Chain A
Amino acid sequence: MLNVSHLTVNYGAIEAVRDLSFEVAAGQVVAIIGANGAGKSTTLNTIGGILKPRSGKIRFDGHDISAMRADQIARLGLAQVPEGREVLAPLTVEENLRLGAYVRADREAIESDLQAMFMRFPILEKRRHQPAGLMSGGEQQMLAVARALMARPKLLTLDEPSMGLAPLIVNQIFEIISEIRAEGVTLLLVEQNARKALQVADYAYVLERGALAYGGPAAELRQDERIVAAYLGN
């Protein structure tokens, strides 16, 4: 589904990601964990077309997307839940959701998906006609996830979905991620909350200072003493 090979990304003069290679197979949930500044968000933003790679290749669903614009990549079926949620604050909740389906043309299916989102996230239906910016952080995160799902993506990327949220809300977000996973959507998840990420993931990679440090089945990483010591703590 997604194949990243020898990816290097510069952020100004700094090499934020260095010679990174990894894969996400269809139907998998893959987590990228690592400390703050390890290059996790840079990686996702480069895959999404917001940042341009300095070198390396990114292939998605059979296409070379390394040089594509973000909107072209979205059109191929990649939906993003960006860091900080990025809801369109002045637009209503419903407008945000509808724009999630911007790349689609199947009107009736969009309407039924909208109703399905309202069933799944009742708070969004309650706030349907309110500006999205007036909602709480947790609600905005729900909206960001729902908006991305409205695209019916082949691959969904989530950038720090738990950031800045209360523990109760974090649990809720990860429950939703498990649900999405159960529906067979391929997921690429970037998280500082390694414990939570390793619980939902099939496979995980650890980034350290822009380079790949470990990679393996999440179940193994959960047992790995080095990982436990460095990222899971107590």
Chain B
Amino acid sequence: MFWQQVVNAIWLGAVYSLFSLGYTLVFGVLGILNLAHPSLYMWGAFIGLMCVNAGLPLWLALPLAMIFSGLMGVLLDRIAFKTLRDRNAPHLATLISSIGASIFLISAAQGVFSAQVSRFPFGVFPVKVFTLGPVTITLLQISILAISLAIMLFLRWLLMGTKLGQATRAVAFNPVTAARLGIPVDRVIMQTFFLAGALAGAAGVLLGLAFNAISPFMGGPMNLKGLTVIVLGGLGNIEGAVLGGFILSFSEVMSVAYLSSDLRDAVSFVLLLIILLFRPNGLLGRSSAKRA
């Protein structure tokens, strides 16, 4: 029983991390909380489903969904955030704008895909179960874990090992300094939104497959989860988002298994409260000394 829960928590945590990385990336670069991020996750899931329904193989549907939700992220920035940024609007305006964008994206999804729960056709992914002593794991779960980890490693390489990544971290620290060095700040922001959207879309397709339930409202619970994860890890902290994703999944899975399944969503709320009370900068929050 216990090891089974550990396995469940690991693959789930990987997807939570994937989702939250995009959330925290935008916060890290722009200092804004993009509450429309879960809507990109939901759209990613729907686009993945559409691709599959159109007869495309899953391995093609996933990257297509990622590209689509990535472009959607760029568009979201241009319409909801850049307009405010250019006017030096306060953060609260941006936050409200992101809520507005989120409502729009959910309504649009209802219009386009209906408010019903949609499902992937049976057999879209080969049903294969592996048993290892007391633990069973499906091929789907293994694939979700592998894909999530691969995307996270790619992101790490992109941010730490490339010129683009250095430029992104420079903009995150100080956009004025970055501009002085010749870094096109606006283009870096666009790339960041593309990345964040693509990460959300990937998480959408993967969790859509795992739970096989896709609806315009699937982003709702993810909002609180994502928020918990990035606050847990420290806002804008990449490693923190990964750590936070696993902490949340373990807490959820264990409380469902040993307490009550009603508590699943309460867990993230309680975690959020505890971390805000005792470590408001998050577990891996930037210390002020490092920024001096």
Instruction: Give the most central of A70, A80, A98: most B CB within 10 Å.
Output: A70
In whole angstroms, what is the CA distance A99 to B292 when docked? 19
Q: Are A86 and B180 in contact (CB under 8 A)?
A: yes
The contact string, 1 if C-beta is below 8 Å from chain B, for chain A 125-153, is 00000010110000000000001000100
Q: Are A48 and B290 in contact (CB under 8 A)?
A: no
Residues of B in contact with A, size category: 20 to 34
| Selected contact of A89 from candidates B178, B185, B292, CB within 8 Å | B292
B67 part of interface (Cβ distance < 8 Å): no
In whole angstroms, what is the CA distance A88 to B180 when docked? 12
In whole angstroms, what is the CA distance A95 to B167 when docked? 10
A74 part of interface (Cβ distance < 8 Å): yes
Q: Are B173 and A91 in contact (CB under 8 A)?
A: yes
Q: Are A69 and B182 in contact (CB under 8 A)?
A: no
What count of chain A residues pass the 8 Å CB interface test?
A: 26
Q: Contacts of A99 on B, CB cut-off 8 Å?
A: 166-167, 170, 178, 181, 183
B176 part of interface (Cβ distance < 8 Å): yes
A49 part of interface (Cβ distance < 8 Å): yes
Give the contacts of A70-104 with B (CB-CB under 8 A).
Answer: 70-71, 74-75, 80, 82, 86, 88-91, 95, 98-100, 102-103
Q: Are A71 and B286 in contact (CB under 8 A)?
A: no
Q: Contacts of A102 on B, CB cut-off 8 Å?
A: 163, 167, 181-183
Q: Contacts of A98 on B, CB cut-off 8 Å?
A: 163, 166
In whole angstroms, what is the CA distance A133 to B173 when docked? 11
Q: Are B176 and A71 in contact (CB under 8 A)?
A: no
B128 part of interface (Cβ distance < 8 Å): no
A218 to chain B, nearest CB (A): 26
B4 part of interface (Cβ distance < 8 Å): no
Give the contacts of B139-187 with A (CB-CB under 8 A).
Answer: 163, 166-167, 169-170, 173-174, 176-185
B87 part of interface (Cβ distance < 8 Å): no
Q: Contacts of B176 on A, CB cut-off 8 Å?
A: 50, 70, 86
Q: Contacts of A80 on B, CB cut-off 8 Å?
A: 180
In whole angstroms, what is the CA distance A75 to B180 when docked? 9
| Selected contact of B184 from candidates A48, A71, A133, CB within 8 Å | A71
Q: Are A89 and B180 in contact (CB under 8 A)?
A: no
Q: Contacts of A69 on B, CB cut-off 8 Å?
A: 179, 184
Q: Are A95 and B179 in contact (CB under 8 A)?
A: no
Q: Contacts of B185 on A, CB cut-off 8 Å?
A: 71
In whole angstroms, what is the CA distance A3 to B30 when docked? 35
Of the A-B pairs whose beta carbons lie under 8 Å apart in the complex, a sample of 24, sorted by A's number, is A49-B179, A50-B180, A69-B184, A70-B179, A71-B178, A71-B179, A74-B179, A74-B181, A86-B176, A88-B173, A89-B173, A89-B292, A90-B169, A91-B169, A91-B170, A91-B173, A98-B166, A99-B178, A102-B167, A102-B181, A131-B290, A134-B290, A147-B181, A151-B182
* Residues in chain A within 8 A of chain B (CB atoms): 48-50, 69-71, 74-75, 80, 82, 86, 88-91, 95, 98-100, 102-103, 131, 133-134, 147, 151
